[in-house]
Amino acid sequence: MTPIMIRTLQEMQSISRHWEPGKKIGFIPTMGYLHEGHISLVKAAEAECDIIVVSIYVNPSQFGPNEDFSKYPRDLEHDLKQLSQCKVDYLFFPSDKEMYPDNYRTWVSVDGLSDVLCGKSRPGHFRGVSTIVLKLINLVHPTYMYMGLKDYQQIVVLEKMISDLHLPTIIRRCPIVRESDGLAMSSRNKYLDADERQRALSLSNSLQVVREYVAAGGSDVREAKGMMQAKIIEAEGRIDYIEIADSKTLQPVERIESGNRALVAVYFGKTRLIDNMEL
């Protein structure tokens, strides 16, 4: 079905103010250029919600000055086609002008969790993410918000924000959707040329290798990170970070235990890709 398009904050508010009590409202915030990973979140919402809202908004405040904000892929027609396979009631498509008017002043930051891993190499990124997601939650009033484990740190940061600010929304963690060869789906995969696309497989391969190492009883962090590094260097990726972290605090661990998370961020050409796996 074709969702009802909502372009203004006032329209969104006048609808969400009147959600029928007891109805489950599912919300999927995205930056568009939708792929099967996004659609899996919608399908998860379909399984338990009465009303589904998807938002498409390329949030300028989560991009650094030298990042890909202006060239981030945007294609509303393509997105509407993707969504027509689903039961989405509303597509919320706000404008920069309304989200960040000239006198905009308010920011949310989740200390400690936002300055490690991706936050270290993308200063201000999670401040932008936390702020926009809080604004969207306030506009949509969702019962459940569906988010992909592909962006593991994002989920941990937003769960903390929701708990610290006593928001009534619950995050549903959804599994990473991968291409058949293992590459995690991402809107940014579009930037890869054929050679980079092939080399980018080293991301999921490096995680698989460390997962097998831990499954076989390995617990040495240096050895595990060395194995991951070797896979990526072999594929001529430029490593931003390779980490094995506690799944809640995101701090590096000294010995690997079951439930820890391996996380990687690597450049292939100019494209920075991330992936992670539970160990």
Residues serving a catalytic function are 38
Token duo for residue 179: 């291409």
40 binding ligand AMP? (CB under 6 A): yes
Token duo for residue 131: 């702020």
Stretch that binds ligand AMP, among 29-37, 82-90, 216-224, 226-234 (CB under 6 A): 29-37
16 binding ligand AMP? (CB under 6 A): no
Which of residues 41 and 162 has its CB atom nearest to ligand AMP in the complex? 41
Site for ligand AMP in 161-220 (CB under 6 A): 174, 176-177, 184-187
134 binding ligand AMP? (CB under 6 A): no
Centre a 10 Å sphere on the Cβ of residue 224 and count the other Cβ atoms it contains: 23
Token duo for residue 197: 């696309």
d(CA 219, CA 279): 10
Stretch that binds ligand AMP, among 2-10, 104-112, 133-141, 144-152 (CB under 6 A): 144-152
Stretch that binds ligand AMP, among 35-43, 95-103, 119-127, 242-250 (CB under 6 A): 35-43
Burial class of 2 by CB neighbour count within 10 A (0 to 12, 13 to 18, 19+): exposed
Nearest to 157 by CA among 219, 110, 209: 110
Which of residues 114 and 187 has its CB atom nearest to ligand AMP in the complex? 187
Sheet of strand 261-268, all strands in order from the earlier edge strand to the far edge: 238-245, 261-268, 271-278
| H-helix or E-strand spanning residue 157 | helix 152-164
Which of residues 224 and 250 has its CB atom nearest to ligand AMP in the complex? 250
Candidate residues 122, 135, 141, 150; the one interacting with ligand AMP per rule CB under 6 A: 150
| Shortest distance, position 104 Cβ to ligand AMP, whole Å | 21
Question: What are the CA-CA distances from residue 234 to residues 91, 200, 202, 238 (Å)?
Answer: 43, 11, 8, 10
Candidate residues 16, 30, 131, 276; the one interacting with ligand AMP per rule CB under 6 A: 30
d(CA 139, CA 128): 17
Which of residues 188 and 227 has its CB atom nearest to ligand AMP in the complex? 188
Q: Which residues bind ligand AMP (CB under 6 A)?
A: 30-31, 37-38, 40-41, 147-148, 150-151, 174, 176-177, 184-187
